[in-house]
Structure 1
Amino acid sequence: MPGFDVQQFRQQFAFFQHHPDWVYLDNAATMHKPQAVVQAELEFYQISNSNVHRGAHQLSQQATALFEQARSSIASYLNAARVHEVIFTSGATAALNQIAFGLMHTLLQPGDRILLTQLEHHANIVPWQLHCQRHGVIIDVVPLTPDHSLDLQAYQDLLALGPKVVSFSHISNVLGHIQPVAQMVALAKAAGAVTVIDGAQGVVYQQPDMQQLDCDFYVFSGHKLYGPTGIGVLYGKTSALQLLTPLLGGGEMIEQVSFVNTTFNKLPFRLEAGTPNIAGAVGLAAAIHWLQKFNNKQLQQHKAELLREFYQGLSHIKAVDILSSPVHNAGIVALNVDTEHPADVAVLLNQQQVAVRAGQHCAMPLFSSLQLPGAVRFSFAAYNTLDDVNRSLLALEQAIEILTA
């Protein structure tokens, strides 16, 4: 099998043709879109634009077919048991809100416990607080070990308290650490908990297999998978989805409505109120079809090579405090420069056309536990090159020289 050609891969992204001088290392925030995705959305609006499910005319039927084909493609990609187990949302945040709201008073009752981890994105913290904590549901948190990985012994100890729900990230959006999700799901299931995985960073690292992983829910955003913004997926086992009270009401999610009572539609429609992001769904399916043309193992090997070179370069730079471990890392490195504020470092990198993110990365509880104001985050994608690595290292050295002069 021929090796991975990063230049050929990169050429499929118009962004880099328009911005050849930029090093883009903010991929954990959002990824660029290949022409195949842009074209799919453009063609939908130019050729097939119509609303779905409710039109008697042929144009609506064609749009519906495209939308439901997109659902089928995503279900196949996830190896879902049934197509209706794929629910379209606006992103992972909306999906987690639907789960947290939907389980309250069906599965979760006052006095019950849910279990999160110290690594979680705000989207996997705040919804549980909004919808559960105010109803008397207790939130427990898995702490970290000194090397910033999850304390699995503490995890098992907290499972012994009998949480009804366990929700955790596949990959830390701050540190890039890959969690042992299969082991964590198995332990949680043995404890009788419903399992929720935030796959926002994990879905692009490896193709998730829902049959093998056996979690109850898995959520992700399209824009973290070379797809459009504003579209995401809530996967759930049929039995788990049936536990969810709809967060939004109206439109396609109903079967019968009167001023006295409403009965909900069947899955997946009862969890998809209103006109969906049809073009976004088509674009996400296009991203998946496009990505499947490449060997995922080769993509990950390329990213691993970039990560090795980046860590090797960092080892020669003084005054850098690296928060991320190079082991079990999906391609994200968080670091700080002595006592300098992360934003100052990012500004100086920006002046050298290196795009990174600085701050607390929607993970304030993590940084509170680390007693840090934030970090500078470098996140790599398969379209990044060794030249990107070298330029970012040089820019970092120059930024440090300015800040510490």
Structure 2
Amino acid sequence: MSFNIQKIRNDFPILSRKVNGYPLVYLDNAATLQKPQLVIDAIVDYYSNYNANIHRGVHTLSQEATDAYEAARQKIQKHFNAKESHEILFTPGTTYGINLVAHVFTSELKKGDEIIVSAMEHHSNIVPWQMLCERTGAILKVIPMNEEGALIFSEYEKLLSEKTKLVFVNHISNALGTINPIAKIIEYAHKVNAAVLIDGAQSCSHIKPNFQELDVDFYVTSAHKMCGPTGIGILYMKEEWGNKLPPYQGGGEMIDQVTFEKTTYAGLPFKFEAGTPNICGGIAFGAAIDYLNNIGFDAIVAHEDELLEYATKKLLEIEGLRIYGTGPDKTSVVSFNIEGIHPYDIGTILDKLGVAVRTGHHCAQPIMDFYKIPGTVRASFAFYNTLEEVDILVEAVKKAKMMLS
């Protein structure tokens, strides 16, 4: 389809509502994207017409549900160019996927081994690794960042050694919008035989990662960041790791044979998918993938880059406003503060004017500590936002500044 912004906006029912008497200007897309009617219809269709448990039933509804769920897995495999569909593991979301890898890697680490994380991670890509270090005696190292909000690659090179076993970096910073050089990060990690996990929660609505081209070992993301429902995501696990690592949870679906003497486990992907999954969520995730690809990621990137450039220019015209995250490679996130005004107060006034932004530390306290600030106002744009909405944001910020100064 051609990029028709009004047609696209008409696909999203929520964008037509009002908040506090004003038309909604939704700029909290880094937290979650809104859902097109096509995805909503996929959810309703499943529960209305073929709701059943999957993989186990011989009856028609079960077979239909199984086919739709596994078709969604194959769509996701194709979208991300995974080599095999069984390398795509359905999870409840990004955080779950990270915790899964952190848990199963317990048996792979010993005291004195080193793992590396970046200074700009979401708490979900920090805390599980700290817990892993507590269990194993491994040492956590941190890639520092500079004032622009970019990682210092030369320092990353210095951290790598034969002791390095795992590297964890987000593809895009949720707090700053910085796009990290993950291809180079993966390449250098593999030189010392370290595995790499990429947190793609913020990237997959803006970028179309190619798993085989990246040669990444683990990649996690969530459907709700890609116009899909909450409570469903994926963990890409390269087959060699999937065959090597132990299961995360025990239960139905993940077994081969069970006796009271011994249990053997199923192969990928079921080895890591214990219990009844979020069937409807997986199917709707597939519908969301179709929707985004129908628009086209080249068109999405071009439009969002235009929004980012315009918003950056207009906001910087406001005296006393500082933007955090000014590196050369970033996506459509603008985190800012106004001198002398708490970000929460700005966000509260913007909400009264119908503008939805996020305020606070964005689950990235180390970033805020680096800049010595309590948090930021974060406006994050999606492909369905418009330049006119940027103008509304800017005027609302100006009004908030006048009221709070």
**TM-score by shorter chain over 0.5:** yes
| Cα distance between partner residues in 1 of 2:188 and 2:48 | 49
| Cα distance between partner residues in 2 of 1:302 and 1:66 | 32
Match of 1:390 in 2: 391
**Residue of structure 2 aligned with 1:54, choices 48, 53, 56:** 56
Match of 2:336 in 1: 335
Match of 1:192 in 2: 193
Q: 4+ runs of 1 displaced by more than 6 Å?
A: none
Q: Deviations over 1:229-249 (max 9, x none)?
A: 100000011012223322221
Q: For 1:214-363, list aligned pairs within 5 A.
A: 214-325=215-326, 327-363=328-364
Match of 1:368 in 2: 369
| Cα distance between partner residues in 1 of 2:229 and 2:150 | 31
CA-CA distance at 1:266 after TM superposition: 1.0
Q: 2:149–2:327: 8 Å Cα contact kept in structure 1?
A: no
Q: 2:33–2:226: 8 Å Cα contact kept in structure 1?
A: yes
| Cα distance between partner residues in 2 of 1:63 and 1:306 | 40
| Cα distance between partner residues in 2 of 1:253 and 1:10 | 41
Q: Deviations over 1:136-179 (max 9, x none)?
A: 11110001122221010000000136310001000000000101
Match of 1:39 in 2: 41
Q: 1:162–1:192: 8 Å Cα contact kept in structure 2?
A: no
Match of 2:3 in 1: 4
Quick one: which amino acid aligns to residue 381 of structure 2?
Answer: F
TM-score between both structures, scaled by the size of structure 1: 0.97
Q: How many residues align?
A: 402
Q: 2:186–2:214: 8 Å Cα contact kept in structure 1?
A: yes
| Cα distance between partner residues in 2 of 1:81 and 1:188 | 21
Structure 1 gaps, min length 5? none
When the two chains are superposed, the root-mean-square deviation of aligned CA atoms in Å is: 1.4
Q: For 1:14-25, list aligned pairs within 5 A.
A: 14-19=13-18, 21-25=23-27
Q: 1:307–1:326: 8 Å Cα contact kept in structure 2?
A: no
CA-CA distance at 1:57 after TM superposition: 1.7
Between 1:322-331 and 1:87-96, the stretch displaced more is 322-331
CA-CA distance at 1:205 after TM superposition: 1.3
Match of 2:97 in 1: 95
Q: Deviations over 1:362-403 (max 9, x none)?
A: 111221222211111110000000111000000001101111
Quick one: which amino acid aligns to residue 109 of structure 1?
Answer: K
What secondary structure is seen at the aligned counterpart in 2 of 1:132? helix
Match of 1:176 in 2: 177
| Cα distance between partner residues in 1 of 2:120 and 2:327 | 17
Structure 2 gaps, min length 5? none
Quick one: which amino acid aligns to residue 10 of structure 1?
Answer: R
| Cα distance between partner residues in 2 of 1:59 and 1:175 | 45
CA-CA distance at 1:204 after TM superposition: 1.3
| Cα distance between partner residues in 1 of 2:180 and 2:249 | 32
| Cα distance between partner residues in 1 of 2:227 and 2:160 | 35
Q: For 1:64-143, list aligned pairs within 5 A.
A: 64-105=66-107, 107-143=108-144
Quick one: which amino acid aligns to residue 14 of structure 2?
Answer: F
| Cα distance between partner residues in 2 of 1:235 and 1:326 | 28
| Cα distance between partner residues in 2 of 1:113 and 1:242 | 23
Quick one: which amino acid aligns to residue 381 of structure 1?
Answer: A
CA-CA distance at 1:185 after TM superposition: 0.8
TM-score between both structures, scaled by the size of structure 2: 0.97
Match of 2:382 in 1: 381
Q: 2:150–2:327: 8 Å Cα contact kept in structure 1?
A: no
Between 1:314-323 and 1:92-101, the stretch displaced more is 314-323
Q: 1:102–1:243: 8 Å Cα contact kept in structure 2?
A: no
What secondary structure is seen at the aligned counterpart in 1 of 2:253? helix
